[in-house]
Amino acid sequence: MTADQTDPVVRTPHGAVRGRYERGVAVFRGIPYAAPPFGPRRFRPPAPPEPWDGVRDAAAFGPTAPKPPYSDAFAHYLSDPEIPGDDCLNLNVWTPEPAPGARLPVLVFLHGGALTRGSSAIPVYDGRPFARDGVVFVSVNYRLGVEGYGLFPDAPANPGLRDQLAALRWVHESIAAFGGDPGRVTLCGQSAGAISVGALAAAPQAQGLFRRAILQSGAPEASDRAKVRRMVRRMAARLKVPATAEAFAAVDRDLLLRTQADVGRLSSPVLGGPAFGIVTDGDLVPYDPLEALLAGDAAPGADLLLGWTRDEYLLWLVPGGLLERVDRLGPVALAAARARCHCGIGVPRGYRGLYPQAGTAETVGQMVTDRLLRLPLQRLADARPGSSYVYEFAWPSRLPDLGACHALELGFVFDTGEVPEAAKLAGEGAPPDLATTMHRAWVRFAETGDPGWEPWDASHPVRVFGEDEPYTAHGPRDAALALWTADTQAADPVPEASADGQPTRGAELRAVVRRLRRTAMVRRH
């Protein structure tokens, strides 16, 4: 359909939508890509939305998926607006030219939030700068927490990931009408969104729906099914209902969210704890996504942009006061990190040797960051040299103690440093030139598959975005990552239990850390 500067109108497969022009960019918000996932559809795979007659208004963000709020400690740094309503499987489109024939590159963004929080309505995720620079930008809401990632005997696994696949199929079918090229789709995600991108990149059903992928601070992985089941069973025990989808569907939604938040309050990338995650299901996720991508069977020929922030762990430790507590624990915390990372004593000793001035919290944080993020992403780049590009975000927040923490790069990637929500994490005075440079690299990657520096090869080039001009370093942190390769043959990993089923010292030490954090949470509330 044609669009004018007053009211751009585009026809989708389910009906026409009317957006708005905002500072020269056409914006369509809250477009349903699937039916509301409640009532008989609860805990089921997404179904197509009901077609509508006439023109549907798409001026405002649609409902967000049910989710518990952040704790006060994290809400100080992270924004997470809540928009009520059942029609939460919706997406947003920003485009400079809402008409067929433009054939512009497309970037589809999946938000983070540990698969339990977040939404496309977070102001930092405004897609206007991408559209301003010639990219059709799409952001997606999907089911979260137990609604999206609970594991039940009477329902398919991974409904939240299936939502994302449905959105990707919507883009493939619909985006040309908004000026996008369905053959030039870049799938992008941060944190849990990046884990989701990795799972979709490896999913047989998603092949052909994207050309490039960006993984920011999240590596492809499959969670332990038993761990996810334990999360569901703990919730069921609190609710006094069977651990089935049918029983959970009958529970009041607010009560379900409160119970989820209570059971999952000890979840942390550093310390572990009960959590939801993407699991292998024999269908959408037939194999571990990382292994499938390493084997080269999935997403053949796809260009990859992979990276992390220098101090990921500080966002996980600073808000709850865990930084000081982990430092005080000393050897206990190091042993707990060994249990978390399933490694031998040689790894923490190696980190102590490489970084003798580091405190315990920094050592633990860097160990976990390397094990969960840098190592698997580097393995992925190693398996796809020539088409993989790697970066590190190293600019430190202006706020105390946060450094270059998890999620800090988002305001720079989106070039939205002017919104107040960006300052909650970056502080005042974030350099606009760095945002311009970094944002342009993401735009260039979506356009051409080349962000502007050399692709990964045996010299391990990493583009560093820090306080000075961006530069390419070769092999930063290679010595630390080599410790993990050596550890694969270590003789003393920390087991979970002894042969007679009794918990070992490693499991006991993790319990000590969990008790310490539980005490801290009680004090804060």
Long-range contacts of 1-4, Cβ-Cβ distance < 8 Å, separation of 24 or more: 1/99, 1/177, 2/99, 3/98, 3/99
Nearest Cα neighbor of 40 from 254, 250, 240 is 250
| Whole-number Å distance between alpha carbons of 398 and 263 | 33
Q: Please, how many CA atoms are within 13 Å of residue 355, restricted to the half-sphere of its CB?
A: 16
C-alpha–C-alpha distance, residues 342 and 353, integer Å = 20
Report d(CA 244, CA 233) in Å as an integer: 9
Q: Is 388 a catalytic residue?
A: no
How far apart, in whole angstroms, are the C-alpha atoms of residue 29 and residue 448? 27
Active-site choice (97, 147, 312, 362): 312
Question: Helix, strand or coil for residue 83?
Answer: coil
B/e letters for 49-79, b = 16+ CB within 10 Å, e = fewer, are: beeeeeebebeebbbbbbbbebeebbeebbb
H or E element in which residue 131 lies: helix 128-132
Catalytic pick from 79, 119, 174, 191?
A: 191
- Of these residues, 111, 172, 406, 439, which one is catalytic? 406
Contact 383, 296 (CB under 8 A): yes
Task: Report the C-alpha gap between 53 and 69 in whole angstroms.
Answer: 36
Contact (Cβ atoms closer than 8 angstroms) between residue 212 and residue 304: yes
Output the six-digit token pair for 191. Answer: 């944190």
Long-range own/partner contacts, residues 79-84 (CB < 8 A, 24 or more apart): 79/122, 79/123, 79/124, 79/421, 79/424, 80/113, 80/117, 80/118, 80/119, 80/122, 81/119, 81/121, 81/122, 82/119, 83/119, 83/121
DSSP letter for 372, please: I
Question: In 37-135, where do the E strands start and end?
Answer: 55-57, 90-95, 104-110
Between strands 303-309 and 20-22, the pairing is unpaired
Residue 108 in contact with residue 210, Cβ under 8 Å? yes
d(CA 219, CA 195): 5
Under 8 Å CB-to-CB from 394, ≥6 apart: which residues?
A: 309, 310, 404, 464, 465, 466, 467
Distance CA 466, CA 393 (A): 6
Query: How far apart are alpha carbons 505 and 179 in whole angstroms?
Result: 59
CB 30 within 8 A of CB 84: no
**Catalytic status, residue 397:** no
Catalytic-residue membership of 82 = no
Catalytic positions, written as ranges: 191, 312, 406
